[in-house]
Structure 1
Amino acid sequence: MKRFLTISAFVFTSTALFAQAENTALRKGNQLYKKGKVTEAEAEFTKAVQQNPANPTAHFNLGNAQFRKNAFADAEKDFANSVANNPNNAGLQQKALYNQGVSLSKQKKLLESIDAYKKALRLNNADEDTRVNLQKALEELRKQQQSQQQPKDQPQQQQKDKQPKPEPKTNKKRLEQQLKSLQQKEQEIQEKVQQNKSRSGSQPEKDW
């Protein structure tokens, strides 16, 4: 899955005379980003955003840098700002929506990511990465909904398992029969003891 897009193609969008300072920051940020110096690049892109908050490219590039630092919530906001400030450039808008969708997926905001992917596909229905990511998000959402439904039935099942199981009737009858047999034997022994006592008491004394 493609997690972020290159930013070199989207550095210069404003006129040099009107936005020389922000273009300089974008150029420096782009060079640092290519070298893997993401933190320094993020600082330059932040400068560009501060110099022109309505620059969609500055927001897009800043979002990419933040994504590389796993700051997905911040990246999501800057990609959204890139879309909001870019009503005319469909190409950049589609890529920003795609990146926004990936950032949302990373935060497990599946409904929002699905919406972003759908909007990106409306701008470019031939983008295979967006289509694949949309399918994955839909599948993950389906699994999440299924797992949320299962725990509702589990407590009832656990309660059933905790209830004592009735003893089989055959075992109960067998125990009753054994108990009766023991009682009868005990009674017979007591009767024999009583008989022995009565016999010993009735015998005549020996004549020595």
Structure 2
Amino acid sequence: MKRIYLILLITTISLSAFAQNERKFVRNGNKLFMEAVRDTTQIDSVKFSNAETEYRKALNKRPNDLKWNYNLADAMYKQQRFEDAEGKFSELAEKMEEPIERAFANHNLGNTQLMQNKLDESIESYKKALRENPSDLETKYNLAYAQMLKKQQEQQQQQNQQNQDQNKDQNKDQQDQNKDQQNKDQNKDQNKDQQDQNKNQDQNKQNQDQQNKDQQQQQQPQQNKISKQDAEQLLQALQNDERKIQDKVKKEKAAKAKRMQTEKEW
């Protein structure tokens, strides 16, 4: 609502031309311009465009006329061609000779900049206008409005920055948590792998021990077991040894008995 109000605050300077032909074009332009301004229900871009055409016809005759250029800039602003109007009002603000005229030019320059959201530029233009015309309430109001928008913009930027920083910190915390969880999962997997490896080693050792035990059990009967032929041979050998021993004992006894008999005969 305030921006629409700002559009209505445009100050129009429409002066009569001195030459007859130029006066006709300017008069037609002013008539179209004022008819469009009276209709507050809508912006009559057609009439403003036609007013611009008439002003340009006059400026073809006198291109350096500051006041007619001022009216042309007003017509462009009303058509919402803010960039074109800004360029024209910026030139006029430097060229106008009277303080009140420079104040009007800077006031409207500030409006074109405000409508383009060039807040810093519009604030500076309104300040320039107030230096030339300190009592202008409309310029004071527009300056306060631009400053309020500037403050809101800074607060929004600050809030956005805080949100970005907060999101950045949250993302970093989440990344750290994910990293910690990955490390935990990795360590868990490594521990599980180690446990599985140890379990496999224990199982392998048990299997090896069991295998060795089985082999020993298999070998023991084989070592204790003797074939019938080997048993007979062993028994025969033992009997032979026994006979040899008995024969030796008999011989020794016979020899001893013979010696004893010989000794008695003597």
Closer, same or farther: CA 181–21 of 1 in aligned 2, 3 Å: same
Map 1:131-150; keep pairs closer than 5 Å.
131-138=140-147, 143=153, 147=157
Closer, same or farther: CA 52–162 of 1 in aligned 2, 3 Å: farther
Separation in 1, partners of 2:173, 2:97: 62
Deviations along 1:25-72, one digit per CA (max 9) or x if unpaired, are: 121112222243122111111122232234333122111111122322
Give the match for residue 80 of structure 2: 70
Give the match for residue 3 of structure 1: 7
Map 1:81-160; keep pairs closer than 5 Å.
81-88=91-98, 90=100, 92-138=101-147, 143=153, 147=157
- Relative to total residues, which structure has the larger helix share, 1 or 2? 2
Higher relative contact order (CA 8 A, sep 6+): 1
Q: Helix, strand or coil for the counterpart of 1:3?
A: helix
Closer, same or farther: CA 47–144 of 1 in aligned 2, 3 Å: farther
Give the match for residue 197 of structure 2: 183
Aligned partners of 1:55 and 1:85 also within 8 Å: no
Give the match for residue 180 of structure 2: 167
Deviations along 1:101-133, one digit per CA (max 9) or x if unpaired, are: 111233444443332211111222233332233
TM-score by length of 2: 0.57
Which among 40, 56, 59 is matched to residue 49 of structure 1?
59
Count the aligned residue pairs.
195
Percent identity for Structure 1 against Structure 2: 29
Aligned partners of 1:11 and 1:23 also within 8 Å: no
Aligned partners of 2:26 and 2:55 also within 8 Å: yes
Stretches (4+) displaced over 6 A: none
Find the structure with the greater CA-based Rg. 2
Give the match for residue 60 of structure 1: 70
Closer, same or farther: CA 89–25 of 1 in aligned 2, 3 Å: farther
Residue segments in structure 2 that go unaligned for 5+ positions in a row: 37-43, 226-266
Aligned partners of 1:56 and 1:83 also within 8 Å: no
Separation in 2, partners of 1:174, 1:162: 21
Q: CA RMSD in A?
A: 3.9
Separation in 2, partners of 1:52, 1:68: 23
Q: Is 1:26 the equivalent of 2:26?
A: yes
